[in-house]
Amino acid sequence: MVEERAGAMMAALPRGRFDVVIAGAGYVGLTAAVAIKDAAPELSVLLVDAAPEGVWRKDARASALAAAAVRMLKTLGVWDAIGAEAQPINEMIVTDSRTSDPVRPVFLTFGGEARQGEPFAHMMPNVALNGALRERAQALGVEMRAGAAVTALTEGPGAMSVSLADGSLIEARLLVACDGVKSKIRDMAGIRTVHTDYGQSGIVVTVAHERPHGGRAEEHFLPGGPFAILPLKGNRSSLVWTEPTREAERLVASDEMVFEMELEQRFGLKLGPLTVEGERRAFPLGLTLARDFVKPRVALAGDAAHGIHPIAGQGLNLGFKDVAALAETVVEAARLGLDIGTLDTLRRYERWRRFDTVQMGVTTDVLNRLFSNDSLALRQLRTFGLSVVDRLPFAKRWFIEEAAGLSGPAPRLLAGERI
């Protein structure tokens, strides 16, 4: 009798079949849904998210969008809705000093243009970006379900059966995991990772200041880790403040006066008095690289495939590169009448993204180890290296193009071209 009731309940569960199911409604998941549906309207796309409806509206953070990512958002019809809220980065300076040093000499300066009239990056409020991507996804016909975490996977003939926390069972020709650095789908698919814990945490906070920033970003290399000041619209800046985890926890838990005193010691008073806006939070930092980006019927994208140190500000932009490459792979396979979820199809995406991801992971790892210390010998080496780069225009141009995501061959969307 119990078995009969269980069978009847399973038969009554909602069941649907989709070409693409994307798990995770952050920027990477949303952009993947928009990119695929925009280029191939005939493909059915479902976006499921473990978070309850509307949680994204509480995100007070901001993100740096490289020029290539901006090109993609323009091509996908998203940028017009949010461009007015974007703050272009017009200049960037780099210093290397101790926290207690009265003067922080500038060793490296970058102009803000990747191409004539095109800033190498913009700062964008997360809420604005998320909202615009959601509106575009809905306009294109992407189905969206909140509060629906993936709980189990079963590979079948021609599709992956996906069980959701709301009790529904769906089938996907391709499941795209965009569910973050602690991806449960990655684990369910049996994909292992390489992980290094830095023993650091990044404090993310927004501050208001009396004087305008002029669109200048600053990266101060301090013994505890990099302290990045990123300009926002108006007299406001977003901070990414790296410290050893125990120190970061102390700072986040401290009272307002102590926190602001520590903040002023690092930020300085060049822009006048500072006021902390909203909540201050600390996020543990490490390097996580998936050993495989794909399995039959499953592809990883964004932090599910790679989590890197924010020292170069490239985490989100790596995710956008994943989206552009995966969307192009899937759409072109569909146009050729190929199965979009087979390993042969998905291997193209993996080959496209693996080297760039590993290279960026190694680069940020080396930079963090080189700069997050108080070694006199390494400090002298860093000072010499930064000064040399500052005197070589071609080297500075290379760094700018790398930061803008415009170096080397790229998927069409990152070049501003439709798939």
Confidence of residue 272 (pLDDT cuts 50, 70, 90): very high
State mean pLDDT over 163-175: 95
Q: Please report whether residue 51 resides in a domain.
A: yes
**Domain membership flag for residue 168:** yes
- What is the percent of the chain with per-residue pLDDT over 70, rounded to a whole number? 96
Instruction: Indicate the number of domains in the chain.
Output: 1
- Domain assignment of residue 215, yes or no: no
For residue 242, being part of any structural domain is answered with no
- What's 330's domain CATH number? 3.50.50.60
- Is the entire prediction scored with pTM above 0.85? yes
Please determine, for residue 66, whether its predicted confidence score (pLDDT) is greater than 80. Answer: yes
Q: What is the 3-state secondary structure (H, E, C) of the chain?
A: CHHHHHHHHHHHCCEEEEEEEEECCCHHHHHHHHHHHHHCCCCCEEEECCCCCCHHHHCCCEEEEEHHHHHHHHHCCCHHHHHHHCEECCEEEEEECCCCCCCCCEEEEEECEEECCEECEEEEEHHHHHHHHHHHHHHHCCEEECCCCEEEEEEECCEEEEEECCCCEEEEEEEEECCCCCCHHHHHCCCCEEEEEEEEEEEEEEEEECCCCCCEEEEEEECCEEEEEEEECCCEEEEEEEEEHHHHHHHHHCCHHHHHHHHHHHHCCCCCCEEEEEEEEEEEEEEEEECCCEECCEEECHHHCEECCHHHCCHHHHHHHHHHHHHHHHHHHHHCCCCCCCHHHHHHHHHHHHHHHHHHHHHHHHHHHHHCCCCHHHHHHHHHHHHHHHCCHHHHHHHHHHHHCCCCCCCHHHHCCCC
In a domain, 163, yes or no: yes
Q: If you average pLDDT over residues 314-340, what whole number do you get?
A: 96
Query: Given this model, what pLDDT does residue 226 score?
Result: 93
Instruction: Give the model confidence (pLDDT) of 183-223 as tens digits.
Output: 999 999 999 999 999 999 999 999 999 999 999 999 999 99
Average pLDDT over residues 140-149: 96
What per-residue confidence (pLDDT) applies to 15? 62
In a domain, 270, yes or no: no
* Domain-located, residue 8: yes
Which of the four pLDDT bands, split at 50, 70 and 90, describes residue 8? very low
Domain that holds residue 386: 2-196+286-415
Q: Does any domain span residue 263?
A: no
pLDDT value of residue 375: 80
Kindly report the average pLDDT of the chain as a whole number: 91
Range 375-398 average pLDDT: 76
